[in-house]
Amino acid sequence: MHFLFLVTVLVYLAASIFQALYLAIGERTETSTLRPRIAQIAFWGTCLGFVLLTLFIILWWSRQGHFPMKHWTDSTAFFAWAITLIYLIVVRVTQLRAIGSLVIPGAFITILISYSFSRNTSALPENLETYWLVPHITLIFLAYAIFFTAFGFGVLYLIAEKSIRDKKHTVFQNLLPSLGASDELGYRCTILGLILLSIGIIIGVVLKQYIEGVILNWLDAHVFFTVVTWFIYVVHISFRQLWGWRGRKAAYSEIVGFIAVLWTYVGVKLFLDSAHTFR
């Protein structure tokens, strides 16, 4: 199984390189025949990586005997899986491939972290063995992956806007989605992510009460920052609805939102103490 994981990591590495190449080689003349091939390899490489990763997670699950969400290996592997899933859906729906150049390398880094922790496994605390845990964690990680995609669209937006304002022909200008498309997709991702995050949080609260019979400790660092993240996205969406916060401002808030996600996910666990800490 370890071997399977290693193969998965390598496939992701290759897919990331080709995804990044797709944008990086730009539109230079000698690449016009090369680029479709690179795009193909990148896409199918990602698909292959996704299949392998799915297989790995299933095996890992059955070996652990419980839903794999307690350890860094589990959660980062699942995060990479979710990012890839969202990417595949976005490409299927919109045909915009440029987003892969950002999110697939992101997925690779995540899965690399996962791999580096994969030697040791741990059991869940007795009291967390519950079916509620599965939707709680799944939804929140899906939301994170969607926020990461929104972050990607925010970055693409800023690059595209800069190139239009500077009136310069950057090498990959024509490969980027239009401003309107990046903005719209970033927004849709944000809304979808927020919905999933909300449901995930509610399930978490119910989980807490069901298991421990007590109201949630809001000062638990992880809970606190999750709510902060949730709040950032709510503000972003309201501003957009009320005062037309589109375009650059929306792109910045998508980026800020994801930084908050990252802090909640990684920062809190490394620097602060929480019941949600991975070991």
Partner 1 sequence: MNQIVSIGTSHHVAPVEFREKLAFSEEQLIESLHHLRESYKVDEAVILSTCNRVEVYGVANSQRTAESPVKILLDFLSNYHRISVDTLKKWSYRHHNLDTIQHLFRVTSSLDSMVVGESQILGQVKDAYDFSRSAGGAGTILNRLFAKAFSVGKRIRSETTIATGAVSISYAAVELAKKIFNTLEDKTVAIIGAGEMSELTAKHLVANGVSKVIVANRTYERAVKIAEKFKGVPVAYEQDLNFLIDADIVISSTDAPHYLIERKPLAEIMKKRKHRYMFLIDIAVPRDIEPDVSKIYHAFLYNIDDLEAVVASNLKERKQEAVRAEQIVSEEAKRFHDQLQILEVNPTIKALHQQFQQIAETELQVCLDCTTLSDTQETAVASMTQAIVKKLLHHPVENLRHAVNDGNADHGQYVQALQELFALDDNNDKEQE
Which helix (H) or strand (E) segment holds residue 249: the answer is: helix 247-262
CB of 103 to partner 1, least distance (A): 20
Tokens 């899933």 sit on residue: 85
95 near partner 1, rule: CB under 8 A: no
Q: Residue 92, class by beta-carbon neighbours within 10 Å (0-12 exposed, 13-18 middle, 19+ buried)? A: exposed
Q: Return the H-helix or E-strand segment holding 46.
A: helix 34-64
Stretch near partner 1 under the rule CB under 8 A, chosen from 46-54, 177-185, 193-201, 223-231: 177-185
Site for partner 1 in 232-251 (CB under 8 A): 243-244, 246-248
Q: Among 107, 106, 98, 108, which residue's Cα sits nearest to residue 157?
A: 98
Residue with tokens 């859906």: 89
Candidate list 65, 162, 169, 238; residue touching partner 1; CB under 8 A: 169
Q: CB 183 → partner 1: shortest distance, Å?
A: 8
How far apart are CB 93 and partner 1 at their closest, in Å?
14
Q: How far is the CB of 45 from partner 1 (least distance, A)?
A: 24
The one segment of 43-51, 59-67, 173-181, 229-237 that binds partner 1 by CB under 8 A: 173-181
Closer to partner 1 by Cβ: residue 26 or 105: 26
* Of 153, 219, 156, 225, residue with least CA distance to 189: 153
C-alpha 157 chain-centroid distance: 18
Q: Nearer Cβ to partner 1, position 153 or 278?
A: 153
Q: Is 188 in the site for partner 1 (CB under 8 A)?
A: no
| Burial of 176 per CB tally in 10 Å (0-12, 13-18, 19+) | buried
Amino acid found at 251: A
Question: Do residues 42 and 19 lie in contact, with contact meaning Cβ atoms separated by under 8 Å?
Answer: yes
How far from each other are the two terminal CA atoms of the chain, in whole angstroms? 21
Binding window for partner 1 (CB under 8 A); candidates: 16-24, 60-68, 107-115, 165-173: 165-173
Site string for partner 1, 53-82 (x = CB under 8 A): ------------------------------
Rounded Cα distance, 28 and 9, in Å: 31
Nearer to partner 1, 54 or 173 (CB): 173
- For residue 84, give the nearest of 54, 59, 40 by alpha carbon: 54
**How big is the site for partner 1, counted in residues (CB under 8 A)?**
24
3, 127, 131, 165: residue in contact with partner 1 (rule CB under 8 A): 165
The contact set with partner 1 (CB under 8 A) reads 27, 29-30, 32-33, 160, 164-165, 167, 169, 173-174, 176, 178-181, 183-184, 243-244, 246-248
